[in-house]
Amino acid sequence: MEENKQKKSGFVTLIGRPNVGKSTLMNHLIGQKIAITSDKPQTTRNRIQTVYTDDRGQIIFLDTPGIHKAKNKLGEYMVNVAEHTLKEVDVVLWLVEPTTFIGAGEHHIAEQLSKVSTPVILVINKIDTVKVQEEILTFIAAYKDVCNFAEIVPLSALKEKNTDLLLDLIFKYLPYGPQFYDEDTVTDQPMRQIAAELIREKALHCLQEEIPHGIAVAIDSMKVRNKVMHIDATIICERDSHKGIIIGKKGSMLKKIGSTARYEIEKMLDQQVNLKLWV
Ligand code: GDP
Ligand code: MG
């Protein structure tokens, strides 16, 4: 970790309703397809961090941790963000649709945000779908008083319109501090971490309640050969007696974990994957 007074670093979390474009925005900001785009709630303890680095410093994105989604009586999505998450990040990005309609879900988020002093940047996404550009002003006006926003940015995550401006604004609110990751870690580390998390998630899912004491996953190697991503990973369990359960009859459980995890990793990387799992 390199101490450097000239560089900034900090944590950013993205919140907002499902399908508002959080994963798309994150993928475009960091310039590659590595954020998990499924809407499954995070069941894992390790957070997925993706890192954006340039000469100004480092932005570490936490992919909407601690959010769980539930529908209220009106069928609206309520997005609950853990208060400690809102407090421990340096900037909150709140993504919304380009509309003047502000529902109970939005007011609920605003109420949660009002409890913390973390700067909130409102991102009005999908402005490429807005035919009349003047309408954007009405969306800004509608949202302006919902919450005490540090900034309001209309943008298109998909068409990468105004995303550079968003990066400028995030850096504006980040403190000077140490760089947590090497520059070249930006692609590699999160990918390995995400691959490990996906395998762990699939393993927990396949094993259901059978392993009470949890498991960890280590990526032993991750290399591209002949356009195929070869991954060797080890599932680590707390007790020897759990090994048999994870492997299953004639290896059937391990096979099931491997094939579901491989499918997800392929989707994430947009690339063929050869996954070898060990216990
Ligand atoms: P998340 O659930 O908030 O992570 O949303 P996703 O990133 O998965 O995006 C949901 C859908 O909205 C996908 O079909 C995206 O392609 C689409 N989308 C995201 N950003 C934009 C945008 O700026 N413009 C348009 N037209 N579509 C977008
Ligand atoms: Mg998503």
pLDDT higher at 47 or 125: 125
Q: pLDDT at residue 186 above 80?
A: no
- Where is average pLDDT lowest: 170-174, 183-187, 220-224? 183-187
- Burial (CB < 10 A; 0-12, 13-18, 19+), residue 249, is exposed
Average of pLDDT values for 66-78? 49
d(CA 254, CA 276): 10
> How many Cα atoms are found within 13 Å in the side-chain-facing hemisphere of 192?
15
C-alpha 48: how far from chain center: 6
Q: State residue 31's pLDDT score.
A: 62
Taking the centre of ligand 1 as the mean of its atom positions, its distance from the CA of residue 196, in whole angstroms, is 25
* pLDDT over threshold 70, residue 80: no
Give me the phi and psi of 224, to 5 degrees please.
-95, 125
Q: What is the distance in A from the centroid of ligand 1 to the CA of 24?
A: 6
Instruction: Provide the pLDDT for residue 29.
Output: 82
Model confidence at 88: pLDDT above 70: yes
Q: How far is the CA of 193 from the centre of ligand 2 (A)?
A: 17
User: What is d(CA 185, CA 252) in angstroms, rounded to the nearest whole number?
Assistant: 35
Assign 266 a pLDDT band (cuts: 50, 70, 90).
confident
Q: Which residues line ligand 1 (CB under 6 A)?
A: 16, 18-24, 37, 39, 125-126, 128-129, 156-158
| pLDDT attached to residue 15 | 87
pLDDT digits (tens, 9 = 90+) for 235-264: 998 888 889 999 999 999 999 999 999 998
Q: What spacing in Å lies between the alpha carbon of 206 and ligand 1's midpoint?
A: 29
Tokens for 222, please give them.
């991750």
For the chain, what is the mean pLDDT? 81
3-state SS track over the chain: CECCCCCEEEEEEEECCCCCCHHHHHHHHHCCCCCCCCCCCCCCCCCCEEEEEECCEEEEEECCCCCEEEECCCCCEEEECCHHHHHHCCEEEEEECCCCCCCHHHHHHHHHHHCCCCCEEEEECCHHHCCCCCHHHHHHHHHHCCCCCCEEEECECCCCECHHHHHHHHHHHCCECCECCCCCHHHHHHHHHHHHHHHHHHHHHHHCCCCCCCEEEEEEEEEEECCEEEEEEEEEECCHHHHHHHHCHHHHHHHHHHHHHHHHHHHHHCCCEEEEEEC
Ligand 1 closest atom vs CA 156: 23
pLDDT in the model for residue 236: 92
Cα of 40 vs centre of ligand 2, distance in Å, is 8
> Residues 108-119: pLDDT tens digits?
889 989 999 999
Q: Which amino acid is at 253?
A: M
Hey, which of 13, 14, 19 would you mutate to test ligand 1's pocket, going by the most ligand atoms within 8 Å of its Cβ? 19
pLDDT of residue 63: 55
Residue 89: which of 35, 141, 49 has the closest Cα? Answer: 49
Residue owning the nearest CA to atom 14 of ligand 1: 19
Residue 184 pLDDT: 46
Nearest alpha-carbon partner for 14 in 115, 85, 114, 97: 85
Q: Looking at the CA of residue 129, tell me the nearest atom of ligand 1.
A: 26
Q: Which ligand is nearest to the CA of 48?
A: 2
Percentage of the chain beyond pLDDT 90 is: 41
pLDDT over 50 (residue 67): no
Atom of ligand 1 nearest to the CA of 37: 8
